[in-house]
Chain A
């Protein structure tokens, strides 16, 4: 049994009274692994991520990070351990890639003065090299393509920390080439730094080939969690998405065919 970095303990959340978006969720997320959250739209994945990034607070229950409840960790300290890429982002058009990535160092400064230390510069350079964004470091963000932009957000997150990454639908809206590129990048971060990755995915096949662990959600509850090969079954997919699916082995890889 691997050590869990996050522990959901009977977590419930709702935006309005009586409407629960998350219902009594209790799961553990293993340290140093890639965990994928999958499930239909509105199943509570993004809400779970908002709770994990301390944007929202659970109505009842608690989430522990390395054994400490999130509510008792200071936001800035937490940001030095856990970084995130969210679904919708705004950024001033004329900001350069490097300056945006350097925002990832916010948690290491006081909010009054920004003085870039050698450590900051090192983290920024490394993040940009690892995500292959260094080649357009001085470009303005409005000149970037969707795939380049997602790599920049990822660079920002790992300049912040490569300890834990929360990635909400980082591959959505990208074409297949960039999806695979981003996923390979995430895989290599996990392999080189032991980064714990939690990501919301929509593609079952990508989940099968990139995730070590999967959390299957439906209607605000966890339907199943564990190793992808064990959790993603024809029966589970029918249950969650209400579709016919066939799972087959092709050249030693499990793939899923719908319809």
Chain B
């Protein structure tokens, strides 16, 4: 192949990325409208616009107060979860490292449950507390599975144990208290049916901070893909870089968990698809994963609301049903992971 045709190939990659972003964004918009339209109360698009901008309408007010924040919570939660997945995978240098599967989310969810139950006045800070829980879980998993390099099997085994421990503790707490702390119960069950504008706002603030952290992590994520030895001789302090990126990953995973609960597989499946579409450069991979994560989360939530109406299936359940088999396919398809 000549140099000119190589350049054409690279231009094609750029076009592909732009196309991927556009299509995903359009799909997200479509599902936002669908999500707003699906439910017990039905209004036409005209009525909706009229209700928001022209005059008060009771039905529209209910939709704006209940469905809209839920849509935004789903989008932000999906973004944070998927971005956390990508950078956790960069740190662990393993495409199987998902904050949900390896226990980070259950660690932060447990602390979020405790805070929601006992210190409801600190509700706005609950993502920070769950961040502490996430860090604890991450430290345990990291310490037990990292020995100069990472064996994926070890990572998954330790992760399963840590995840089981913390989600067991959360469920035990929920059952001990008879599920009386509804806020706590909704985190345990990863239900976002009662989220309001306050939740959306809190999540938006923490996701914005997380996004800023991601901007500073892009370069480190790319360098972390190289071997430790090479990073050393390139002048990188590997343990510092790894620690900083880990903190960003845990922060995003915890912020999402504090509001939407622990959702497994989203942080695994979405980055994997994103890599197939836009490649491994984190400058594009992180934002695209976030966008795709938002779409996945919103679709899962909307399908969960619609499929057994008037009953609801939570996003985490849907992601487990869809993500579990995908995870196995992933394992089988690539010999490298096994």
Contacts of B171 in A (CB 8 A): none
6 A-B pairs within 8 Å (CB atoms) are namely A77-B235, A79-B235, A111-B241, A135-B3, A137-B6, A138-B9
CA distance A136 to B7 in the complex (A): 11
* B216, B233, B279: the one within 8 Å of A55 (CB): B233
Q: How large, as a class, is the contact surface on chain B?
A: 20 to 34
Contact B3 A75 (CB under 8 A): no
- Knowing A88-B227, A92-B280, A138-B3, the reply to whether A166 touches B219 (Cβ < 8 A) is no
- Knowing A75-B235, A104-B234, the reply to whether A112 touches B279 (Cβ < 8 A) is no
Chain B, range 1-27, C-beta contacts under 8 Å to A: 1, 3, 6-7, 9-10
* B219, B226, B281: the one within 8 Å of A111 (CB): B219
CA distance A109 to B223 in the complex (A): 12
CB distance from A76 to the nearest CB of B (A): 4
Chain B, range 237-267, C-beta contacts under 8 Å to A: 237, 241
CB distance from B224 to the nearest CB of A (A): 10
Contact A103 B7 (CB under 8 A): no
Contacts of B10 in A (CB 8 A): 96, 138
- Scan A62-86; emit 1 where CB is below 8 A from any B CB, else 0: 0000000000000111111011101
Contacts of B216 in A (CB 8 A): 112
Residue picked from B219, B226, B233, most chain A C-beta under 10 Å: B233
Give the residue name and chain of the B residue nearest to A81 (CB): B235
> Is A192 among interface residues, defined by CB-CB distance under 8 A?
no
CA distance A137 to B219 in the complex (A): 21
Contact B279 A89 (CB under 8 A): no
* A86, A93, A94, A139: the one within 8 Å of B233 (CB): A86
Contacts of B222 in A (CB 8 A): 103
- Knowing A86-B227, A91-B226, the reply to whether A76 touches B233 (Cβ < 8 A) is no
> Is B220 among interface residues, defined by CB-CB distance under 8 A?
yes
CA distance A137 to B9 in the complex (A): 12
* B225, B279, B281: the one within 8 Å of A91 (CB): B225
Chain B residues proximal to chain A, CB less than 8 Å: 1, 3, 6-7, 9-10, 93, 216, 218-220, 222-223, 225-230, 232-237, 241, 279-281
> Is A95 among interface residues, defined by CB-CB distance under 8 A?
yes
Give the residue name and chain of the B residue nearest to A143 (CB): B1
Please name the 6 residue pairs, one residue from A and one from B, whose CB atoms are nearest each other, closest first: A79-B235, A107-B235, A138-B6, A84-B233, A92-B280, A76-B235
**How many of chain A's residues have a CB under 8 angstroms from any CB in B?**
39
Contact A55 B229 (CB under 8 A): yes
* B219, B229, B241: the one within 8 Å of A53 (CB): B229
Contact B232 A80 (CB under 8 A): no
Chain A residues proximal to chain B, CB less than 8 Å: 50, 53-55, 75-80, 82-84, 86, 88-96, 99, 103-104, 106-107, 109, 111-114, 135, 137-139, 160, 166
CB distance from A133 to the nearest CB of B (A): 13
Contact B3 A80 (CB under 8 A): no
CA distance A139 to B1 in the complex (A): 9
* A86, A92, A114: the one within 8 Å of B230 (CB): A86
Contacts of B280 in A (CB 8 A): 92-95
Contact A94 B219 (CB under 8 A): no
Give the residue name and chain of the B residue nearest to A94 (CB): B279
CB distance from A169 to the nearest CB of B (A): 13
Contact A103 B219 (CB under 8 A): no
Give the residue name and chain of the B residue nearest to A157 (CB): B233
CB distance from B69 to the nearest CB of A (A): 34
Contact A139 B6 (CB under 8 A): yes
CB distance from B277 to the nearest CB of A (A): 11
- Knowing A75-B235, A82-B233, A92-B280, the reply to whether A138 touches B7 (Cβ < 8 A) is yes
CA distance A106 to B228 in the complex (A): 14
CA distance A138 to B4 in the complex (A): 10
Contact A78 B6 (CB under 8 A): no
